[in-house]
Amino acid sequence: MSEGWTKRQVTALLVLADGTVIEGSGLGATGAIEGEVCFNTALTGYQEILTDPSYSKQIVTFTFPHIGNVGANEEDQESLGQGPGAGAVGAIFRADVTAPSNYRSAGHLDAWLKARGIVALSGIDTRALTALIRENGMPNAVIAHDPDGNFDVEALKARAAAWSGLVGLDLAKDAGSREAAAWDEMPWVWDAGYARQGEPRTHIVAIDYGTKRNILRLMAGLGAKVTVVPPTASAEEILALQPDGVFLSNGPGDPAATGEYAVPVIRKLIEADVPLFGICLGHQMLALALGGKTEKMHQGHHGANHPVKDFTTGKVEIVSMNHGFAVAADSLPDGVEETHRSLFDGSNCGLRLGDRPVFSVQHHPEASPGPQDSHYLFQRFFDTIERHKAGKQAA
């Protein structure tokens, strides 16, 4: 895949589980780490992508060739934490990272990658790697960086082949919060940064399976007091906080594995007649709680240009996506309505419960990065809460 490139020292390798070795130039953290290789088609927002906790244990191949040109800053981070579940473990770029050129830049991408422990590689044919993933699916791999170019290739091949992959892996406990905490940061404003919330009018409890900051910001911006709780919080602990609604966050890993402890909690919340809104992993586990099934995808959906149809409005939206598992639409039981569908491959992208204030979507309406076509879903959640409150008062 490096054919046609100027000969230079190899300081990074991507070693696939089938033994394929791809050579490049290393940047970011040194060392080697396992992950599943996917590709992302977004043109902007590389910091938000790499700090999305849903990318835990994944190596992101950027199809856009020039990554890093605008540098890095602290405002564009999406993960709440800095630990091993805070985002992607590796990154792959077509072109070398150049000096930053943007008024918001606080430093070079290389330094930022080092600080976050992300192993990166540049100088390879990312089109060919993307085609390989489209043809064969997302491979398990090891990405390695050594400035001196010293690699034990056979050991890396064995390590890549031995890694079990994401199926059956619960990553939410590492990606999510460790304890309950309040959130009051609102959406970013040009040249002003992030404002702090004043007087809230609604209380949302967000179960953090690996949430993104902009999701919490948008809810705070609409007037919610947001309380973030760990992924292992019990239904009793959540209900004791007296929420007006509960948010089921995005996150990494296999929904069936995280669902072992999360699904019983979600079922109790549904039985308690609390308004629920889920995104991504939260959507998948809500489907499991309602009797549906999830399945591993061939290449997944990762990008900011995915067309999705909302059947409740008839509109087609361009949305951000980041998921390697999906809800099997034909597994949804009676009483569960499919509300959104991908126009790329027909996969399920949303559901709602007919007789309860419960709904969810597969895509990322917080748009960080990406288009803002789906911001209305947060208002839909708040409207659902208000109707539910009114109905209870009338009863």
For the annotated catalytic residues, the residue numbers are: 280, 364, 366
Contacts of 322 (CB under 8 A, 6+ apart): 40, 49, 52, 54, 55, 250, 280, 300, 301, 302, 364
Report which of 187, 191, 178, 193 is spatially closest to residue 216, judged by C-alpha positions: 187
The kind and range of the H/E element at 138 are: none
Residue pointed to by tokens 């190596």: 59
Secondary structure (DSSP) of 151-210: --HHHHHHHHHH---STT-B-HHHHS-SS-EEE-EEEEETTTEEEE--S-SEEEEEE-SS
The kind and range of the H/E element at 285 are: helix 281-289
Report which of 339, 319, 322, 245 is spatially closest to residue 281, judged by C-alpha positions: 322
Q: Are 266 and 289 spatial neighbours (Cβ–Cβ below 8 Å)?
A: yes
Question: What is the rounded CA–CA span in Å between residue 326 and residue 254?
Answer: 10
Question: Measured on CA atoms in the order 127, 128, 129, 131, is the torsion positive or negative?
Answer: positive
Cα dihedral 49, 37, 107, 84, rounded to 10, equals 80
Report which of 250, 168, 259 is spatially closest to residue 207, judged by C-alpha positions: 250
Report which of 307, 306, 305, 328 is spatially closest to residue 316, judged by C-alpha positions: 307
